[in-house]
Amino acid sequence: MDRIADLWGPRTPHAKGTVWPARVDQYLADGLAEDQVDRWVQSACLLCSNGCGCEIAVRDGRMVGIRGRAGDVVNHGRLGPKGLYGSTPWASSPDRLTHPLVREAGRLVETDWDTAMARIVEVSRRLLADKGPLTHGFYTTGQLFIEEYYTLGVIGKAGLGTPHMDGNTRLCTATSAAAFKESFGADGQPGSYTDIEHCDAIFLYGHNMAETQTVLWSRILDRTRAADPPLIVCVDPRRTPVAREAERTGGVHLAPRVGTNLALMNGLTRELFVNGWVDEPWVRAHTVGAADLRSIVEPYTPREVARVCDVDAGELSRAARIFGESRDVLSTVLQGFYQSHQATASAVAVHNLHLLRGLIGRPGSGILQMNGQPTAQNNRECGADGDLPGFRNWDNPNHVRELAELWNVDPLTIPHWSPPTHAMQILSYAEEGSIGLLWISATNPAVSMPESARVRRVLAGDQCFVIVQDLFLTETAQLADVVLPAAGWGEKTGTFTNVNRTVHLSEKAVDPPGEARSDLEIFLMYADAMDFRDRDGAPLIRWRHPEEAFDAWREASRGRPVDYTGLTYEKLRGPTGIPWPVNDQAPEGTDRLYTDAVFPTDTDRCETYGHDLLTGATVTEQEHRALRPAGRALLKGARHTPPHETPSEDYPLLYTTGRTVYQWHTRTKTGRARTLNDAAPDAWVELSVADAARLEITEGDVVRVESPRGAIQVRARVGQVREGAVFAPFHYGAWDPAGLDVDASPSRQANELTMTVWDPVSKQPYFKTAACRVTKIRAGAGPAPAPTTAASAPATDGVPPTAGGPPTTTRRVDTPHYPNDPGAR
Ligand SMILES: Nc1nc2c(c(=O)[nH]1)N[C@H]1C(S)=C(S)[C@@H](COP(=O)(O)OP(=O)(O)OC[C@H]3O[C@@H](n4cnc5c(=O)[nH]c(N)nc54)[C@H](O)[C@@H]3O)O[C@H]1N2
Ligand SMILES: Nc1nc2c(c(=O)[nH]1)N[C@H]1C(S)=C(S)[C@@H](COP(=O)(O)OP(=O)(O)OC[C@H]3O[C@@H](n4cnc5c(=O)[nH]c(N)nc54)[C@H](O)[C@@H]3O)O[C@H]1N2
Ligand code: SF4
Ligand SMILES: [Mo]
């Protein structure tokens, strides 16, 4: 099959309440036959949060292909286009980093590890001696392994004692974690993928799952294309494949004005109250805050929501009725909420809807506050993102003491005198120079952070010493003082956890190129050189190998909601990934949380005392105690406010950004997979038919898009976005694999236009709300380079369909037994 043309593969429809059938997808590069593969190595796909169980094909010491694992609870054997075509080609790309680089007289030159590490340690020691640990900042990722995050977390928190640690997870799914903490007391995905098999309706909020978790979407399609399908409700300003499926199933597509999610959510919530769809006894027994919530949402009548969001009042009511009257509902939430205005309040509103009806903790009634990156969850769990390991509360002295005992350090070493520093604040400190050493691992902020011109200036300046640890000489690495070559997926061993808590072991399949080393080895090298010690003078970090690091992390998770104590490498070498908590009570893992409707909100147990959702003001321990949540969930609301930047005469359109199915972020991997790159080779912007007509822009024209912060020049796709909005994919920076002339100014990088603003609670930057104007520069020669297969489909005929993937195989196999699957009982 050509999986560029066919994103989701063939359907395996099945009835409600039955197990999702297995189907094994496989791709071998260069037309290799199966018997030419030397060995298959167990892993899970690292190209999105879905974490599909897989095996890597190895031939002559190279990764040459991939196949799904039929027994894995996550994907039942399937893989999507990115997983198939994009997992391995980057690894043998000739431009991999193979030696450390250091800056000499303005230029990056090759060196050896000793020299590079000595330079880092010299700066590090000098800054510590002169000004203490607040001079150190770490900006990591959602793409390393548990073992690496935990090690980095201990270095930062117990070795150095800096609160300035965060990840690109802040840009990604900080809101997911924040929303869980506000509603349920701690992070932790309540729902399960098996909810798809049991639900009667699925609500997708700002989530283009069809492109961003293609395998999960095929799981949904296998229900919507069978008897007894669930209704789909989609909230997205674009007519995505999700929106089209909503129309097809008789559900609803609500396309709100960009930046108005909370008004829409308040409208849905009010409908539950006024139509008597609230399960009053359940709400009384298991929640706190219903009366306040009711008064907050009271003004949001369907008419008022229609006015603010520019959606049809009747359609809003119809969506509310589907939520109110379906027996079981599954909700998913992603960047259309997390990166848009009032992010945490909007994500929490999804929890409120479920809580008001008691739709949580049973098959079919789940919430998936999605992750995006494959290992974002682990950064949150292990504490490399500012949170304390094990979902501990930085504001609770007992939680800090537990960690101090575990690490055998003084509790005062562990930063907990103020909230952890978030990514955009770390950048500001680096800008001022109060952070004098910034260590960036596995992320490319020169392309992915908002307001690119500022980011470039900060990273290139002399006020801060910048270390970049990556596979490639990215746009960010080019600005660094030291560049460290890292081993990637398949070149090292480690574990990670997908969006529904399922933990996988990813084994080393091949050696990294040249002198590249695993991130774990690099962090340990630094710890050794700095000679971090515990209270008794013993080495602070006592592990050397991934498995030992994993065992150390398991101890840190003991007794916490995120309990890994029952997991071992040995157990993870079995047929499937295993969802946490895994412990004596649940030795085979846990499919869904909160089956007993008891939430970790107790003041002594919770991960946060919470915030005011409108302002972000923190709730104190005393205030939290006075609430007496005692295991009940919290209903919290806020009124809608307008976004930071609204359309004006100069900038009359709303600018929003996101993804396409074929590219992964800044394309360091997918750009090196020719099949994928050819399907989406260059940047574009999507305009509505009405706006394009008004601006006299037609398909493929070259346009200039400007905001008060910058400009890009790209081709126009007249497509599926709602009127008044402009959508830009954020994947395209200066680097280009096909040698396109992208040095031309203005650039094509979506973040030239975005703003430095963030959500008051989760501190997640808003990549999806800015104002812009669009001007035609010249007529294009042919259509825009945007794919036709999904949300960027053209509105006009005559654009050749996106196709051309080399053959993959897909075969039906007997459906194995999946532990914990309620359909199998
Ligand atoms: N192919 C591919 N898959 C990926 C990734 C990738 O780069 N490429 N990245 C992974 C990662 S890290 C992430 S975080 C996820 C992200 O996955 P998604 O969140 O699904 O992806 P996005 O395209 O960022 O945004 C989703 C939708 O939000 C809509 N939107 C924009 N503004 C608003 C708004 O104001 N309100 C509402 N309701 N919707 C709005 C957009 O139209 C878009 O369709 O994808 C993961 N999967
Ligand atoms: N405008 C706009 N901007 C956005 C978004 C948006 O929707 N719109 N989305 C945001 C989101 S959700 C995300 S997740 C970010 C993603 O943004 P980035 O994190 O910048 O994206 P990637 O391209 O995945 O960068 C990962 C880097 O890590 C390297 N790498 C991969 N594996 C390893 C490894 O094992 N070790 C090391 N050391 N390096 C490795 C890769 O080569 C790559 O350079 O972008 C954010 N920026
Ligand atoms: S859905 Fe995500 S994890 Fe699964 S194969 Fe595709 S990119 Fe990989
Ligand atoms: Mo993300």
In a domain, 628, yes or no: yes
Task: Check pLDDT > 70 for residue 29.
Answer: yes
Return the ligand number nearest the Cα of 369: 1
- Residue 63 and residue 149 share a domain: yes
- Residue 591 and residue 604 share a domain: no
Confidence tier at 743 by pLDDT (50, 70, 90): low
- Residue 678 and residue 546 share a domain: no
CB of 620 within 8 A of CB of 242?
Answer: no
In a domain, 100, yes or no: yes
Residues with CB under 6 A from ligand 3: 45, 47-48, 50-52, 75, 79-80, 82-83, 213-215
- Residue 611 and residue 484 share a domain: no
- The whole-number pLDDT of residue 524 equals 98
- The whole-number pLDDT of residue 196 equals 98
In a domain, 647, yes or no: no
- Residue 609 and residue 565 share a domain: no
In total, how many domains does the chain have?
3
- Residue 203 and residue 351 share a domain: yes
Show the DSSP H helices in 190-312 as ranges: 195-198, 209-212, 214-224, 241-248, 261-274, 280-286, 290-297, 302-309
Of ligand 3's atoms, which has the minimum distance to the CA of residue 213?
A: 1
pLDDT digits (tens, 9 = 90+) for 456-497: 999 999 999 999 999 999 999 999 999 999 999 999 999 999
Task: Check pLDDT > 70 for residue 742.
Answer: no
How many angstroms does the Cα of residue 321 sit away from the middle of ligand 1? 26
Is 663 a pocket residue for ligand 2 (Cβ < 6 Å)?
no
- The whole-number pLDDT of residue 88 equals 98
In a domain, 797, yes or no: no
CA distance 692 to 674: 31
Task: Check pLDDT > 70 for residue 437.
Answer: yes
- Residue 354 and residue 261 share a domain: yes
How many angstroms does the Cα of residue 81 sit away from the middle of ligand 1? 17
In a domain, 385, yes or no: no
Tell me what the mean pLDDT of segment 733-738 comes to: 91
- The whole-number pLDDT of residue 514 equals 98
Q: Which domain holds residue 351?
A: 179-370+600-634
- Residue 91 and residue 14 share a domain: yes
CA distance 333 to 111: 45
Report the number of secondary-structure helices (H) and strands (E) in the chain.
27, 28
pLDDT digits (tens, 9 = 90+) for 300-333: 999 999 999 999 999 999 999 999 999 999 999 9
The first and second tokens of residue 237, run together, are 């300003």
Domain containing residue 354: CATH number: 3.40.228.10
Cα–Cα separations (whole angstroms), residue 271 to 264, 276, 614: 11, 8, 22
How many angstroms does the Cα of residue 288 sit away from the middle of ligand 4? 32
Confidence tier at 741 by pLDDT (50, 70, 90): low
Is 173 a pocket residue for ligand 2 (Cβ < 6 Å)?
no
- The whole-number pLDDT of residue 825 equals 67
pLDDT digits (tens, 9 = 90+) for 290-305: 999 999 999 999 999 9
How many angstroms does the Cα of residue 641 sit away from the middle of ligand 4? 25
In a domain, 235, yes or no: yes
Nearest residue CA, atom 30 of ligand 1?
336
Per cent of the chain over pLDDT 90 is: 98
Of ligand 3's atoms, which has the minimum distance to the CA of residue 68?
A: 5
Task: Check pLDDT > 90 for residue 824.
Answer: no
- The whole-number pLDDT of residue 772 equals 98
pLDDT digits (tens, 9 = 90+) for 339-370: 999 999 999 999 999 999 999 999 999 999 99
Domain containing residue 63: CATH number: 3.40.50.740
Is 143 a pocket residue for ligand 2 (Cβ < 6 Å)?
yes
Q: Are strands 684-687 and 107-110 parallel, antiparallel or unpaired?
A: unpaired
Of ligand 1's atoms, which has the minimum distance to the CA of residue 341?
A: 35
Nearest residue CA, atom 47 of ligand 2?
448
Nearest residue CA, atom 45 of ligand 2?
448
- Residue 272 and residue 190 share a domain: yes
pLDDT digits (tens, 9 = 90+) for 380-400: 999 999 899 999 999 999 999
Of ligand 1's atoms, which has the minimum distance to the CA of residue 238?
A: 42
Average pLDDT, rounded, for the chain: 97
In a domain, 799, yes or no: no
Domain containing residue 677: CATH number: 2.40.40.20
- Residue 75 and residue 187 share a domain: no
In a domain, 801, yes or no: no
- Residue 260 and residue 139 share a domain: no
How many angstroms does the Cα of residue 293 sit away from the middle of ligand 2? 37
- Residue 664 and residue 541 share a domain: no
